[in-house]
Amino acid sequence: MGIDLPLVWFVIIVFSILMYIVMDGFDLGIGILYPALKDSHDRDLMMNSVAPVWDGNETWLVLGGAALFGAFPLAYAIVLDALSIPLTFMLLALIFRGVAFEFRFRADESHRKHWDHAFIWGSVFTTFVQGVVVGAFIQGFHVENRVYIGGYFDWFSPFPLFCGLGLVIAYALLACGWLIMKTEGHLRKTMYRLLRPLTFAMLIIIIIISAWTPILNNAIYTRWFSLHNLFFFLPVPMLVLICSGLLINSAKKQKSDHVPFLAALGLIFLGFTGLGISIWPNLIPPQISFRDAAGPMESLGFMLVGALFIIPIILVYTYWSYYVFRGKITPDQGYH
C-alpha cells in the first residue's frame, strides 16, 4: 500500500499552523498586553522574555504557507483570491511589528513611545486578521468549477470580525500565562490580576462562537448535533471547563506558575481541534476537500523528501532555543 501523500501533507500543514499559533500566539499577545503596563522597565522585561525566540516562531508560518502553495495549489489560489486584502494587511503589520521589536531598544526615550505604538498595533492587527481568516474559513467560500466567485470583501462580515476579536483575547490570555511563567515580582503579580478577567472574556467568546457557528453553517450543525457525533464531541466542552477552572484557580492561589500557560495552551488547542473537526475533510469549506485540492502525486512525493529533512531540523532548533533560554527572566537580563 502506497503512502497517502495528500493526507501526509494535510497533517504537515495542520501541524505547522498549530505550532505557529502556539508559539507566535504568546509572542503577539505580549504586544496586545503592552497597554496594560506603562512602566518602561516592565515593557523591557516583556520583550526580553521572547527576544531570543520570537523570530524563530514565525518559521512555522512560512513553512505552512509554502506547504500550502506546493501541496495544495488550488486551495492556495482560492485563499489568496478570497483573502488577499486581509492577508496583505497582516504581512504589513508583521513587518511593522518586527521593525519595532528591533528598533525600540535602540531608540532614545523621546522616540521609544513611537516604536511601542508600532509594536502594539502591529501585534493587535496581525492577531485580529488571523482571527478574521479563521472566521472566513468557518463561514466558507463561494467556489464554482474550482474558481473563487465571491467578492473581495466577503470576509468583512460580523462572524469573521468577531473571530478576530476572539483571537485577540485568546493570544492575550496565552501571553498572560507566558509572562507569569517567565517573570517575577511586579510584572508577575500584574499578570495574575489580568488572568481572571481574561479567562472570563475567553469563555464568553467561546460560548458565542460555539452558538454562532452551527447557525452560520448547516453542515457544521449536522455534524455537531447528530446523535453519534454528539457523544464523540462531548469531551470538548468538558475539557474547556477544566482548563478554565485551572486558570481561575491559578489566579486565586498564585502558586504554580506553569499551570496558567499550560491551561491557556489547552484552550487554544481545543479551539483549533474544534475547527478541524468541524470542517474535516474540507480544506476549502464547504465543498473542496484536501484530496480535491492536492497537487500532482509526483510533486507531493518530491516535496516530502525535503520536508522530512527540514522539519526535524526546525524542531531541534526550536527545542534547543527554548531549552537554552528556559526559566525565569530577571530585570538585569537582556538580549539586545
d(CA 262, CA 257): 10
The pLDDT, as a whole number, for residue 238 is 87
More confident residue, 109 or 304: 304
The pLDDT, as a whole number, for residue 163 is 92
User: pLDDT tens for residues 4-18?
Assistant: 888 888 888 888 888
d(CA 242, CA 159): 26
User: pLDDT tens for residues 16-39?
Assistant: 888 888 888 888 899 899 888 877
Q: Say what angle helices 259-279 and 218-225 make with each other, to 10 degrees.
A: 110
Least confident of 110-114, 224-228, 248-252: 224-228
Q: 128 pLDDT exceeds 90? A: yes
User: pLDDT tens for residues 38-52?
Assistant: 777 877 788 888 877
More confident residue, 335 or 237: 237
Least confident of 54-63, 87-96, 316-325: 54-63
Under 8 Å between Cβ of 46 and 187 = yes
Mean pLDDT throughout 153-177?
Answer: 92
The pLDDT, as a whole number, for residue 107 is 66
More confident residue, 203 or 333: 203
User: pLDDT tens for residues 278-289?
Assistant: 778 787 887 888
**What is the pLDDT confidence band of residue 334, given thresholds at 50, 70 and 90?**
low
b/e map of 133-156 (b: 16 or more CB within 10 Å)? bbbbbbbbbebeeeebebeeebbe
More confident residue, 184 or 125: 125
**Could you check whether the bond before residue 286 is cis, i.e. omega within 30 degrees of 0?**
yes
Q: 336 pLDDT exceeds 90? A: no
**What is the pLDDT confidence band of residue 125, given thresholds at 50, 70 and 90?**
very high
Among residues of the chain, what percentage have pLDDT more than 90? 15
Q: 168 pLDDT exceeds 90? A: yes
Q: 194 pLDDT exceeds 60? A: yes
Under 8 Å between Cβ of 74 and 146 = yes
User: pLDDT tens for residues 231-249?
Assistant: 777 788 888 889 989 999 8
The pLDDT, as a whole number, for residue 14 is 86
The pLDDT, as a whole number, for residue 333 is 59
- The pTM of this model reads 0.89
- What average pLDDT does the structure give for the chain? 84
The pLDDT, as a whole number, for residue 64 is 84
Closest of 78, 137, 141, 124 to residue 272, by C-alpha: 137
**What is the pLDDT confidence band of residue 331, given thresholds at 50, 70 and 90?**
low
Q: Say what angle helices 5-33 and 158-182 make with each other, to 10 degrees.
A: 70
The pLDDT, as a whole number, for residue 252 is 85
More confident residue, 35 or 331: 35
The pLDDT, as a whole number, for residue 332 is 62
